[in-house]
């Protein structure tokens, strides 16, 4: 089968690799749609600790079952499915306490290689985080299950509710998913970003206020009557923006650090601000099976129109060109159809 291999930063090769055979509990899925994402882009630009190189590339996908191992009873061959690329082991100390997204083995057992003709799903992913694709949902939309699950995890933990003011820093694909989810909850949403076209998209998606990052402090004060936002979601992964994020939240508010900084990065915050203004500062990582179920429900019920985030479609052979576009800031998410 043909599969994209991230050889080193900036270099993707299409290689002919052996077709895997499913063992007990596993599924072999023909990939019908795979999405580019911010983590993939970081790996393409500078490498990523969670994406080994050289190695299979891509992790957001949907497709059709073409083979299955012994013991799989929930699915049949030719079932269209949507899945995420990981699942908790249910055996480690963190799983025993219900911290499923922090499972000690969740990254070690993750599935990479969505930019391929076929992908093999391990038994734990099949058992917990794989679903039949609704007929009304396209394969392109179904491939959003993984990124939406991550966004659900962070926003559910923050407790965003109707009429809350939410400020999203970064209008990339993850920032725009945050916007759509917050609007579905009835929140009033502000968003900022460097790319004007993405801010135009944010406005079309329902953002109440969009502005250039240089206007953040004055715009937020005006929008919130001087208080600051109830919730700030940092979606850039830039250390300086992590540090500035606490300047935009009200007393007693929460700052959710979604965007991951480069490994080894250190940041500082005002201890006075965190302590006396009782700011909740929280990192967020990955998702739990409950988050995946919620994301599946949002997609199935069409509570969020993720199709509006798709900038184009390409074949596997053109994937290098697509990532070059993303490096230049062109588009939001692209669909790779192997």
CATH of the domain at 16: 3.90.180.10
pLDDT at 263: 85
Q: How many domains does the chain have?
A: 2
- Are 139 and 68 within one domain? yes
> Measured in Å, how far apart are the chain's first and last C-alpha atoms?
10
Answer yes or no: is pLDDT of 247 > 90.
yes
- Are 225 and 123 within one domain? no
Average model confidence (pLDDT) for the chain?
Answer: 96
Average pLDDT over every residue of 3-15: 96
CATH of the domain at 257: 3.40.50.720
State the residue range of the domain holding 80: 2-148+287-337
pLDDT at 49: 84
Residue range 146-184, pLDDT digits in tens: 999 999 999 998 999 999 999 999 999 999 999 999 999
pLDDT at 109: 81
- Are 90 and 184 within one domain? no
Band the pLDDT of 244: cuts 50, 70, 90: very high
From 237, 258, 283, give the residue that closes a domain.
283
Answer yes or no: is pLDDT of 50 > 90.
no
Answer yes or no: is pLDDT of 63 > 90.
yes
- Are 291 and 144 within one domain? yes
pLDDT at 170: 97
From 257, 283, 309, give the residue that closes a domain.
283
- Are 294 and 276 within one domain? no
Query: Model-level pTM?
Result: 0.95
In this prediction, what percent of the chain has a pLDDT beyond 90?
94
Is 121 buried (19+), middle (13-18) or exposed (0-12) by CB count in 10 A? buried
Band the pLDDT of 78: cuts 50, 70, 90: very high
Answer yes or no: is pLDDT of 22 > 90.
yes
- Are 155 and 205 within one domain? yes
pLDDT at 262: 87
Residue range 186-207, pLDDT digits in tens: 999 999 999 999 999 999 999 9
């Amino acid at each position: 089968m043909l599969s994209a291999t991230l050889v080193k930063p900036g270099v993707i090769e299409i290689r002919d690799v052996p077709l895997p055979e499913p063992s007990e509990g596993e599924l072999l899925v023909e990939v019908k749609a795979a999405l580019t994402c911010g983590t993939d882009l970081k790996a393409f630009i500078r490498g990523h600790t969670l994406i080994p190189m050289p190695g299979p590339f891509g992790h957001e996908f949907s497709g059709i079952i073409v083979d299955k191992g012994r013991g799989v009873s929930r699915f049949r061959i030719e079932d269209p499915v949507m899945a995420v690329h990981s699942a908790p082991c249910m055996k480690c100390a963190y799983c025993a306490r219900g911290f499923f997204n922090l499972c000690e083995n969740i990254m070690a057992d993750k599935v990479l290689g969505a930019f391929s003709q076929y992908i093999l799903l391990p038994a734990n992913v099949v058992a917990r985080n794989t679903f039949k694709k609704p007929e009304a949902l396209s394969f392109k939309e179904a491939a959003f299950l993984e990124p939406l699950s991550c966004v659900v995890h962070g926003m559910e933990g923050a407790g965003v509710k109707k009429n809350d003011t939410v400020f999203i820093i970064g209008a990339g694909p993850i920032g725009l998913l945050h916007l759509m989810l917050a609007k579905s909850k009835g929140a009033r949403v502000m968003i900022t970003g460097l790319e004007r076209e993405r801010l135009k998209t944010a406005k079309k998606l329902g953002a109440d206020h969009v502005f250039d990052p240089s206007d953040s402090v004055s715009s937020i004060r005006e929008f919130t009557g001087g208080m600051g936002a109830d919730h700030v979601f940092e979606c850039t992964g830039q250390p300086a923006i992590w540090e500035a994020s606490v300047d935009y939240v009200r007393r007693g508010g929460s700052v959710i650090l979604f965007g991951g900084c480069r490994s080894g990065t250190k940041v500082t915050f005002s201890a006075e601000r965190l302590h006396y203004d009782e700011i909740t500062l929280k990192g967020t990582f990955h998702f739990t099976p409950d988050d995946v179920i919620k994301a599946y429900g949002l997609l199935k019920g069409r509570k969020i129109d993720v199709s509006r985030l798709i900038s184009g479609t390409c074949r596997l052979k053109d994937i290098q060109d697509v990532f070059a576009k993303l490096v230049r800031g062109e588009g939001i998410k692209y669909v790779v159809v192997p």
